[in-house]
Amino acid sequence: MFDIGFSELLVIGVVALVVLGPERLPKVARTAGHLVGRLQRYMAAVKADMEREGHLQDLHDLRQQFETSKSEVEKSIQQTAQAVKTEAAEQAQTIHAPLEQAKQEIAGAVAPAASEPAPAVAAPITPAVAATTPPSSEKSTG
């Protein structure tokens, strides 16, 4: 920070001793020490705040990248889903066309047969079944 060597500190100490005197010098040195300590704590707090802001900015950038990637993935999924729907519709059309043709051919084949009179069919003969019931076996309790 400041480039102060030992010899410069010694000169400052001698001048302070001459100016302040031996009675007030310890009190002033103590006050100066407290001020220097407070200044160091303040500088450390400012440095920590700056680092926090830097990390916060990094996190914000990372979030932006994540949001961009997310939107790209969603767009890709939507495009893939649309392609699958289109392919499924084409396949369904490919399957339904022969089915419709087969239905028309069946309807054409059945229509002439339906216009001819149906031959008379005799009712089937069913043997008569005797209604028999098995004898009941009731037991009386005594």
Count of helices and strands (H, E) across the chain: 2, 0
Q: Is residue 131 part of a domain?
A: no
Give the Cα separation of 61 and 67 in Å (integer). Answer: 10
Alpha-carbon dihedral of residues 32, 38, 41, 46, nearest 10 degrees? -110
Banded model confidence at residue 50, pLDDT cuts 50, 70, 90:
very high
Banded model confidence at residue 142, pLDDT cuts 50, 70, 90:
very low
Provide the pLDDT for residue 22: 86
Q: Is residue 116 part of a domain?
A: no
Q: Is residue 132 part of a domain?
A: no
- Whether residue 16 contacts residue 25, with contact meaning beta carbons closer than 8 Å, is answered with yes
Provide the residue count of the chain.
142
**What pTM value is reported for the model?**
0.42
Instruction: Tally the domains of the chain.
Output: 1
Q: Is residue 93 part of a domain?
A: yes
Q: Is residue 31 part of a domain?
A: yes
Crossing angle of helices 6-20/25-115, nearest 10°? 130
pLDDT in tens, 108-139: 877 665 565 555 555 566 655 545 555 555 55
26-30, 34-38, 131-135: which is most confident:
34-38
Output the six-digit token pair for 83: 């392609």
